[in-house]
Every structure is written in C-alpha cells, then in structure tokens.
Chain A
Amino acid sequence: MYKYDEYDHEIVGARVAEFRDQVNRRLKGELTEEEFRPLRLMNGLYLQLHAYMLRVAIPYGTLSSDQLRRLARIARVYDKGYGHFTTRQNIQYNWPKLVETPDILQELADVEMHAIQTSGNCIRNVTTDQFAGATAEEIDDPRIYGEIIRQWSSLHPEFSFLPRKFKIAITGAEKDRAAVKWHDIGLVMKRGPEGEPGFEVLVGGGMGRTPVIAKTIRDFLPEPYLLSYLEAILRVYNEQGNRDNKYKARIKILVDAIGADEFARQTEAEWEKMKDQPIDVPAEEIARIRSYFAPPALPVLDAQDDAVDALAAKNVMFKAWLKNNTHPHKVPGHVAVTISLKPAGGIPGDASDSQMELIADLADQYSQGDVRVSHEQNLILPHVAWRDLADLWTALDGAGLGFANAGLVSDIIACPGLDYCSLANARSIPLAQELSNRFADLTRLEDVGPLKIKISGCINSCGHHHAGHIGILGVDRRGVENYQILLGGSGEEDATKAELLGPGFGADEIADKIEQVIAVYLDIREEDEHFLAAYRRVGPAPFKEALYAAA
C-alpha cells in the first residue's frame, strides 16, 4: 500500500501540532467556540449528542494490519473500546475527549493516518471497491488512482472551500461495488479503442433530500488526463455552484439546472484550456504510485482443500460462509473474504478493540497484512488462500465474526441515527438489530437471498436508503420516531432510486412491515428471482396492497 513520503509526514505532523495548540487555546478560553468549531471540524472532530465524535479517514478503504491495530488501540485507550466503520469506508469514534484528541491524531500520524478532510466543504475521502487489487473482474487497481486523487485533493487551496462537500468514488471493474453513480463524481475504469486504460466519467450523483443518479459526461477519458479533467469539473462547479442555499449547493443541483450536456460542454471547454498544463501526473509518477499497489506475489494454488471440505461437511454456517462471504480472486486458489460486522442483533459496522486486533493478526497470518473496509460496513481480508479458510473462519467465529450473511438480508447498512447523531430524527441501529434478529436463522436468510436493506436516521442519507432494495428513512412525526419505506433502489451499476411506498410507520410496527414486504416478495418471486428483480417486474402495487390495504 501507499507509504507516506517526507512531504506527507511533514504536513500531517504539522497539522497535529497546530491542532494541539488550537485545543489548548480553546481550553484556556483564548478561542471562542465560534472560532474553534471550524478548526475542529477541519480535523474531523464533531460534537454529537453525548460526546465528541472523531471521524478518521481510511483512504479508499485500505488499511494495513498495523494501522488496524492502531485503530484498536485508540478505541481502547481513548474511547470506550469500539469504533464504527461507516458507509464512507471511514471509522468513527464516539467518545473522544477534546483534550485527548491531539494525542489521538498523533497516534494516527504515527501510522500514516489522519482525520483531515473528513468534514467541511472540501473533497472528501475517495472511496472504491473493497476488492480492489484482488478481484478478477477489474481492469486495473482503482486505488492507484484513488491515491493520485488523494494527493491532488489534499489541502488543495482552490478546492478547500467548495460550495458544499464533494465525494468521488472509483471502480476498477464494471461491476460496481463503490456506488459510483451516487457520488458527485463517479469514475469507472474502462479500456479505450487501442486497449489503453481510462475512465468513464459521471457527475452529479448524490443522496440527501434530492436523490440523483450521476450522468455520464464523458464515455472515455484517457488515463493520463485524469487530474486535469477532474480539475475542470471542479472549476465549473466551484464557479457556478450555489453558495447561498446549502440544500441547493451540491453539484447534482447544478448539473440538473443546466443539464448534463451543458455541464459536459463547459467542462470540456475548461479542460481544453488546461489539459496540457502541468496538472496531470507524469507517467513516471503514476508508475511510482502503482508500485505501492503491486499485487502480492501469491502462488497459484488448488481451489480445493480437504480440511475446508471436512469442516464444510459438518458445519452449515461455514458452508454458507464459503458461498456468501468469499469472492473470487485474480490468483487461482485464493479468495477475498468478507468479515461480517453484522451478527444477529449486532450494531452494523461496530467492531471492538479486541475484534480489530484479532482481524489485524489474521490479516498478517492469512492476507498479506492487508485489510479493507467496505461501504457496506464490513471488513475484508483481500488475499486469502482457499486452503486457509477453515482455520481462518474458526478463528473469526470464535470472536463472533463468522456470520455467513454477506450480501443477505441481515447484512444491513445503518447510520448511527438518533442513538448518537445530533442531526437525526429517529434511531437506525435498534431497527437494524431487530431485523437481523428476525432473520438470524441461516435457512431463512439463504431462502430470502440477496437483499440489501439500508437505513438512515434522517434525510442526509448516510445509511444510503435511496439505494436500498429496501430503504428505510427515519423521520420525526410530531416528536415521535416514524419510518418510511422505500423500495427498488440500487447502488450498483444498474443504479436506481428507491421509491417511497407510502406513509410511514411507528417504531413498534416498522419491523413487522419490513417482514411483510419480504413475505410479499417470497410469494411473488419467480424461480431464483432476487428481490430487486421481482420488484422491478411487478412494481410497488402488491407491496402497497399488503402494507396499506387493511388500514
């Protein structure tokens, strides 16, 4: 993975020192809260309902085992023994003390991590496919470009005060696991007419109160021009984006207002002016960054192992896990393993310090010291030999991490919601817990099949409810928690917006209603038809009827 150079170390170190000084001045009263607030936000420190919250960037969701160990240590020493992995492939700590935050940032800097640009109207952490560098499907490892974008966008003076926050996602494969169409800019790696690498460029996607699916403004951008083209897009947005109304400030509103064709025209015109200026990264530099992401030298192995077969024959959970929680690897005899952070009744995305430490050790033992965070709030060991799977799963299972539900109905995305978040209208986590308890039985889980439930505690949509096969949005109905159901969304290459089914339901009935939705699906599905396909075939009518007719 990428290693900090001198320059990286210097800026991150300087920021820690600067923030330590700012915190001291705040505690002594030399800075008012009004003065201090933007400074703490620039360092990822929010104030939530019960405490401060620190959001730490995990660039393109990639962690070394040492970094994960450090995250565990921070959870134990400075927090309450756990961290929360988010849909932005980041980690959040829920209880840091203000006075200790500079120490936490120093601990992060020691392992080449920070919390810069995890808040504010700047370019946020670039997200990508959790199987990057491992999946057989990809054209190239998207993290190479994620890193190039990270370096370009870090503390970029022109783009530090954009009209609104800005999120870029990139996938190296046509199969989209990074929800690129739901981002301000989405990049899909492709090959050009001569087989040369490049990107399809999409703009104007986003969730929030105005959900929009990004539109393609360029079918193929040759790889060498990535940064100049991104810079052209940002310039058009920076100049024309709405700065008066934060609800109309995202790039999606601008693209919608002037049209994708016009936005593309203006971007191209801007790009013409700058494409031969020294903005783009020279080929040698791309090669240098590429070398950090060189695939591990894995031997070609058999995709069969007696110990794996023997355990699968006697343990149904392991057998299901082999099917659901492993993904084909480039190198025969290997897989990428999804470690579910969604046990029945668990809090989606939460991991304890000891779980993180165990996963770090297992990454060293079985996955080249490499760990990933998925936007679906799970952890991934990307390079595991098939023959190690029985031992690996046994170790995971012993720590409550062996659940075989990746991609199934209890693999729920849930934002922190009203349990933690000061912007929330309703709780998300208890509903996720209730649903995952109801679908704890493996046979039932597998019968329902692939189904993505996504829950947000307010319209900000951190829980991606617009992209859920079943999306659930918490609202405040006269001071009481209420939940709206949306159906038919997708965050993948076939992205669609979920549609609101009807009036919301109270906290005491929403889980029953979701079960009813699933019962309708089981009733209408044709052979092997997944939930989303069935919904697309029949539309909302049968679901509406079941949920509202009796009322």
Chain B
Amino acid sequence: MIVANRLADGRAVFFTEDGDWSPDLARVLVANEDAIDDALDAALKFEGSNDVVSVEAIEADTSTNPARPAHMKPLMQTTGPTVRPDLGYQTGTNWE
C-alpha cells in the first residue's frame, strides 16, 4: 500500500483503489510487488499536483480484513495518537 501526508494539513492518507487518497483502510489499494511501481507512479502524480507529500510504498499486512500496514509507524497513522483517541482518525468525524 501507499501512504502520504496531505499537503494542506499534513493528515496521513492512503492511496485508494480508485486512484484517490483516503484514511479509510477499506478503500486502500493493496498491490503486489509487480503492480506497486505502477501504483506508485500514479500516486506520485499527486505530489506533482501538490495534493500530498512524503509519498511512500509500505508493506501491507493482508492477514487482516481490510488489509492494514505491516509496520508500527504507518499503522499509527491509520488511527492517530493512541493516547488521544478523542482526536485522531479513531473518532472518524473531524477529519475530512
């Protein structure tokens, strides 16, 4: 999967199946090694158009449904700070 931060507010977002960005893991594109380069090219176009920054391909954990990032840091980005569940994506409301 591919993660980035939105330029305007820095919020962590993931590249989606339909070629957009979202914090919603259910929509996130999961590509195998062959397909990830093409996906990354598509994602990087959004860096060119100044929608997102820090675009990065990361390992996915596909044993869960939906798939989620395999490593701690991007996993943290899917929720927000664990110590303020009232503020991050956990709340599901004050983000978009």
Contact = CB atoms under 8 A, between A and B. Distances in A.
B25 interface: no
A418 interface: yes
Contacts of B72: 418, 426, 476, 479-481
Contacts of B9: 51-52, 95, 97-98
A510 to B, nearest CB: 15
Contacts of A99: 8
B73 A49 contact: yes
Which of B7, B10, B47, B50 counts the most A-chain CB atoms under 10 A from its CB? B10
Contacts of A33: 7, 47, 53
Interface string B26-62: 0000000000000000000001011001100000000
B16 interface: no
B11 A50 contact: yes
B82 A430 contact: yes
Interface string B1-29: 00001011111100000000000000000
Interface residues on B, range: 20 to 34
A80 interface: yes
A98 B82 CA distance: 23
Nearest to B51: A29
Contacts of A429: 81, 83
Given A27-B50, A419-B82, A476-B72, A50 B8 contact: no
Contacts of B50: 26-29
B87 A27 contact: no
B54 A47 contact: yes
Contact of A29 (B11, B12, B49): B49
Given A27-B50, A49-B77, A419-B82, A479 B71 contact: yes
Which of B70, B71, B84 counts the most A-chain CB atoms under 10 A from its CB? B84
A47 B53 contact: yes
Contacts of B87: 80, 95
A429 B11 CA distance: 21
A347 interface: yes
Given A47-B54, A49-B73, A479-B72, A433 B83 contact: yes
B1 to A, nearest CB: 16
A363 B9 CA distance: 34
B8 A419 contact: no
A26 B49 CA distance: 11
Interface in B77-95: 77, 80-84, 87-88
A401 interface: no
B73 A422 contact: yes
A420 interface: yes
Contact of B11 (A51, A347, A476): A51
A80 B91 CA distance: 13
A63 interface: no
B80 A50 contact: yes
Given A33-B7, A50-B80, A50-B88, 12 more contacts: A29-B49, A47-B54, A49-B76, A50-B77, A50-B81, A80-B84, A98-B8, A98-B10, A347-B84, A427-B82, A427-B83, A430-B82
12 contacts: A26-B7, A26-B50, A33-B7, A33-B53, A50-B88, A51-B9, A97-B9, A98-B9, A347-B84, A418-B73, A424-B73, A430-B83
Top-3 shortest CB links A-B: A419-B81, A51-B10, A52-B10
Interface of A: 26-29, 33, 47-52, 80, 94-95, 97-99, 347, 418-420, 422, 424, 426-427, 429-430, 433, 476, 479-481
